[in-house]
Amino acid sequence: MSACSSVASPPQRELVVRGPLPTRIQHPLALIQPGFTPRSVRTQAPGEWRVEGELAYSSIFERSAAAGARVAFDAELLRSSLRARRGLAPGIDLEVALGGVYGSSGFLDQFIEEFHDLIGAPNQGRDKFPQDRFESVIEVDGQTAWSWRDDRAQLGDTLLVLTFGESELEREQWGNAWRLGLELPTGDEQQGSGNGGVDWLVGWSGEISFDTTTHFAAASAGQARTTTTLARAGLDLPERLELFYGLEWRWGAHWSWVFQLDLHSPLLDEIELSEIDRPILDLGVGFVRDAGADSRWWFSFHEDLLADSGPDFALFLGWMWGV
């Protein structure tokens, strides 16, 4: 008996999953359309809370005009968000997500031009316009179809998410979660921080863990209400489709690297300009570190790999309690 015990495998440490990073595409038009933040398929235990807060700062430069349409996104965006999640029953939790945005001319244009030159990425004509200016507008035949106001803090729309997932998940066990979302019109449609209507989302998430890695996958579809000015210009907000993959690598006992790819369908598909009618492929690289028994903080850098419609540069800093 003692001989068998001496060759038995040592017990595995408790599985700790810190990812994925709960990020969203930092484009002003994307933020008035519904979108899930990535999450683990594990749900909160009944009666328990999880709270997450984050700050994100991004820069975007997309300018083009053709056939009577003009698109101009030249801005820097600061977004704060707060999410609270509570377990309702085994395998079921409810989340409320609030967000606020602030747009400005910013200060990063020179840095981003030099950074893109360093990595060989296109600058998309940044050097042809004055640096650190603000414009965020879509025009059709001289008519403003959508615009966003700068230098004003604004509340965004509020998302409610009901998740049916896994109460527990072991190593090398595949887990699934189904998500239902309803976005309420708490943003300001006239100032560009909301769309003025109730939106819906449905989604699926999958997850599996091995020794030091966890793999995440997700897909979702949703529909936003078309704003009054977009409808007046003869445009509709298209269905929102998203595919997601994430990889967590547990580097040590208290922190993990996280890599993410987030593919979004075009923000608009009725204006034939690559600055608005192309998919967005967001690459995120970051880490999560334990801050105590019940909290963590995380940081990540993001870049649009397709460099047509998405933000050029984004940084996220977040904190979570009730992990």
> Is residue 59 included in any domain, yes or no?
yes
Do 84 and 95 meet the contact criterion of CB atoms below 8 Å apart?
A: yes
Q: What is the pLDDT of residue 252?
A: 86
Which residue, 62, 102, 111, is CA-closest to 79? 102
In sequence order, what are the beta bridge partners of 175?
A: 207
pLDDT of residue 16: 93
pLDDT value for 6? 39
pLDDT confidence of residue 309 = 82
Q: Answer yes or no: is 9 within a domain.
A: no
Instruction: Decide if 20 is inside a domain.
Output: no
Residue 219 lies in a domain: yes
With CA atoms as reference, report the closest residue to 303 among 22, 71, 25, 21.
25
Number of other CB atoms surrounding residue 250 within 10 Å: 21
Low-confidence ranges of the chain (pLDDT < 70): 1-13, 106-132
**What pLDDT does 132 receive?**
64
Short-list 29, 25, 23, 67, CA closest to 267: 29
Residue 60 confidence (pLDDT)? 87
Cβ(265)–Cβ(34) under 8 Å? no
Do residues 149 and 101 lie in contact, with contact meaning Cβ atoms separated by under 8 Å? no
Residue 17 inside a domain? The answer is: no
Strand runs (DSSP E) across 128-279, as ranges? 135-140, 143-147, 154-155, 158-164, 175-184, 199-209, 213-223, 240-250, 255-264
pLDDT digits over 226-257, tens only?
Answer: 999 999 999 999 999 999 999 999 998 999 99
- Local structure of 90: helix, strand or coil: coil
What is the Cα–Cα distance from 110 to 126, expressed in whole angstroms? Answer: 9
Residue with tokens 């105590």: 292
Residue 284 lies inside a defined structural domain of this protein: yes
Residue 138 maps to a domain: yes
Tokens 């360093």 belong to which residue? 118
Could you tell me the CATH number of the domain that includes residue 296?
A: 2.40.160.40
Rounded to 5°, the CA angle 317-163-319 comes to: 15
- Give the count of domains, the chain: 1
Residue 30 carries which DSSP code?
G
pLDDT in tens, 265-317: 999 999 989 889 999 999 999 999 999 889 999 999 999 998 778 887 899 99
pLDDT reported for residue 115? 62
Range of the domain at 309: 30-321
8 assigned to some structural domain: no
